[in-house]
Structure 1
């Protein structure tokens, strides 16, 4: 059968994209996401052929690891829960050891859309950024948006979405975030952003579409107690950083 010019062009494009994607890994922290994770992995495989999905199972109790393996992901099992950031760091360290040049981090609950990843890659290539954040500030409640406004004022960041975990990291960023300096951080948000900014990394963001989680609930915002604890930790971190900057400038 003879191929049409359009079919030949499509095949060549897919081959080019598959070859390029072999340098990129997707890291997905997961805890008790067995109901939805197979669909998320399948979507990544469709939109990023050639890029492995690294699922870091944060001591799930519902068989998430087995479902992810059946869906074709590389699964790293944590014997005890480390939280989302600890799981992400585990995936980053694995990706570095495997020689990947960049990592996309995304949630396993279906909020982050794999079809938006090429947009992050395009912005990275255009701007030469170390980090590109997929921003969707509309997802937050009014209370969360007020918190972001306070955090922006205290941190000096102009980013619209400070807590999005949908990001692409360069190898330079991965080395920094896989280091002991980042181990004590709790979430993939302001602490990580401040560390990268202080290390001279270029951080940009671009608007993306997100959807409500397909199952489960947020680990950070699952109760008012956790929200209050998160707010207190973040404000203390920002005040400490601001005090350090003032001392550095005056010294």
Structure 2
């Protein structure tokens, strides 16, 4: 099994002072290296994370969760030798106690990416969107938006490439890009909590939702143009018989 000391946990954080310290402490108790990326918070997120023992990057402007994740992944990759990289939220939604379970499943599945999946969460609208996007993409993933993920080095090579930098969210676009590069993505069911603080950056307003849908449909369209989407749908059809 992968030694926890060789696992890097990357946590993007924006104004999450009430929870980030507890999350960092719980992760550190597992023996993992913790890298928090403070996305230019206006509160004491930076100080709370440092006090809890994390190595903290502080961005000079609010870049968004996906760019913060990329910055953390790149820093962890250069900082030390790690066997795998885990991304998770700092708002209390993701439970650090599931990390060992995800690592075991990651190794058992022999996947390049493993998603900590919790399809029970979310509104009816979000669940409908998941079903629609799962159907359109043929990804075979139920929880397409979970940011609780495990990546290997091959996945990082893709996510830190120029194509990865074009993405806006760590969800469907990332999974489509990984599939297009021939990498394997799996999911494993876990439990999640309601957010202790903050709110979804994607589903905060109807404008945010609209932008998210438009960008997601663009990535799905691009995937179809390249042929990856068509092949997956064709394979899905064959498997049904």
Q: TM-score, normalised by structure 2?
A: 0.91
- Which residue is equivalent to 1:176? 158
Query: Structure 1, residues 110-155: CA drift from partner, whole Å, max 9, x if none?
Result: 0000111111111111121111100001111100011111111211
- Which residue is equivalent to 2:236? none
C-alpha distance in structure 1 between counterparts of 2:71 and 2:18, whole Å: 23
1:55–1:68: 8 Å Cα contact kept in structure 2? yes
1:154–1:239: 8 Å Cα contact kept in structure 2? no
Q: Which runs of 5+ in 2 are unaligned?
A: 232-241
- Pair 158,246 (structure 1): closer, same or farther in 2 beyond 3 Å: closer
Please state whether the residue corresponding to 1:75 is helix, strand or coil.
strand
- Which residue is equivalent to 2:188? 206
**Aligned equivalent of 2:5, options 17, 22, 25:** 22
- Which residue is equivalent to 2:111? 129
1:34–1:64: 8 Å Cα contact kept in structure 2? yes
Q: Which runs of 5+ in 1 are unaligned?
A: 1-16
Please state whether the residue corresponding to 2:91 is helix, strand or coil.
coil
Pair 1:35-2:18 in alignment: yes
Q: How does 1:150-229 map to 2 (within 5 A)?
A: 150-229=132-211
Query: Structure 1, residues 39-64: CA drift from partner, whole Å, max 9, x if none?
Result: 11111122x22x11100010111021
- Pair 243,62 (structure 1): closer, same or farther in 2 beyond 3 Å: same
- Which residue is equivalent to 1:13? none
- Pair 246,170 (structure 1): closer, same or farther in 2 beyond 3 Å: closer
1:130–1:201: 8 Å Cα contact kept in structure 2? yes
Q: Which protein shows a greater Rg?
A: 1
Q: How does 1:43-58 map to 2 (within 5 A)?
A: 43-46=26-29, 48-49=30-31, 51-58=32-39
C-alpha distance in structure 1 between counterparts of 2:108 and 2:83, whole Å: 17
Q: TM-score, normalised by structure 1?
A: 0.88
Please state whether the residue corresponding to 1:55 is helix, strand or coil.
strand
1:176–1:182: 8 Å Cα contact kept in structure 2? yes
Q: Which runs of 4+ in 1 moved over 3 A?
A: 246-249
Aligned Cα root-mean-square deviation (Å): 1.7
Query: Structure 1, residues 176-203: CA drift from partner, whole Å, max 9, x if none?
Result: 2112220010000011001111111111
Pair 1:79-2:54 in alignment: no
Query: Structure 1, residues 18-45: CA drift from partner, whole Å, max 9, x if none?
Result: x911211100000000111111111112
